[in-house]
């Protein structure tokens, strides 16, 4: 059985990455019977916002250390957890700085896939927020060649072309009606 490890930042909130992961991973575990593990880097394994099948193992890095100690201990905790899980494939869904640095932080042999859930046109409301986005982009461009595959939900204009980029559109979280609307009322 193929063992997949997904790394994500916060499954305890109502964010889009958490929603897409819950739909996709529930489908994979129910239809293909993969052994799926998720490392929730910014939250615990309880009180998840979306439903995750009980067959999916959710792990937390338990980062209760001080801010600066946490940065140094993250690498060790991450690699220890990955070694404990021993996945066949690692899928990085962390679109932040730690995600951009993952190929430099992980020292194992499992193939790495980067799954991008954000737009390259993303902007923050503050100067510091935009600086952090530029900083993350800088490191991602230096690490992108270390990924075996890159998964995006759409290819934006002006992005580099590569055989390693695959498009997988986001799943719908609702049923599509089988009947068309009649449009017989003006309101």
Which among 173, 171, 170 has a CA at the least distance from the CA of 51? 173
Exposure letters 130-139 (e unless 16+ CB within 10 A, then b) = eeebeebeeb
Enumerate the domain spans of the chain.
3-167
Phi, psi of 156 (to 5 degrees): -70, 155
pLDDT score at 66: 58
What integer pLDDT is reported at residue 52 of this predicted model?
95
Which carries the bigger pLDDT value, residue 84 or residue 146?
Answer: 84
- CATH, domain 3-167, list 3.30.70.980, 3.40.50.800, 3.40.50.2000, 3.40.50.9100: 3.40.50.2000
Q: What is the pLDDT of residue 126?
A: 78
Average pLDDT, the chain: 83
What would the mean pLDDT of 142-171 be, rounded to a whole number? 76
Strand order in the sheet with 149-152: 57-60, 35-40, 3-8, 89-92, 112-116, 149-152, 165-167
38 pLDDT higher than 60: yes
Residue whose entry in the numeric block shows the structure tokens 């954000």? 118
pLDDT at 53: 96
The pLDDT, as a whole number, for residue 63 is: 64
Kindly list the distances between the CA atom of residue 169 and the CA atoms of 57, 59, 86, 138, 166, in Å, as whole numbers in the listed order. 24, 26, 28, 25, 10
C-alpha torsion 19→24→26→32, nearest 10: 180
Q: Looking at the predicted structure, is the pLDDT value of residue 170 above 80?
A: no
Is the pTM here over 0.75, yes or no? yes
Lowest-pLDDT range of 1-15, 59-73, 90-104, 135-149: 59-73
Let me know: does 6 contact 156? Beta carbons within 8 Å.
Answer: no
Which two three-digit tokens encode residue 80? Answer: 């220890």
pLDDT for residue 21 is more than 70: yes
């Amino acid at each position: 059985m193929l063992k997949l490890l997904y790394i994500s930042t916060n499954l305890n909130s109502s964010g889009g990455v958490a929603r897409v992961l819950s739909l996709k991973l529930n489908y994979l575990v129910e239809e293909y019977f993969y052994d799926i593990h998720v490392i929730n880097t910014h939250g615990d394994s309880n009180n998840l916002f979306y439903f995750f099948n009980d067959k999916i193992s959710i792990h937390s890095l338990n980062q209760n250390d001080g801010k600066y100690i946490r940065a140094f201990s993250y690498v060790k905790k991450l690699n220890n957890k990955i070694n404990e899980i021993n996945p066949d494939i690692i899928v990085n869904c962390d679109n932040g700085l730690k995600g951009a640095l993952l190929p430099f932080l992980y020292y194992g042999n499992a193939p790495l896939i980067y799954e991008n859930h954000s737009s390259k046109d993303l902007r923050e409301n503050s100067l510091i927020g935009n600086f952090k986005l530029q900083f993350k982009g800088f490191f991602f461009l230096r690490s992108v060649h270390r990924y075996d595959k890159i998964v995006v939900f759409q290819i934006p204009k002006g992005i580099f072309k590569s055989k390693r980029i695959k498009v997988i559109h986001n799943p719908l979280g609702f049923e599509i009606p089988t009947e068309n609307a009649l449009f017989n009322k003006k309101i």
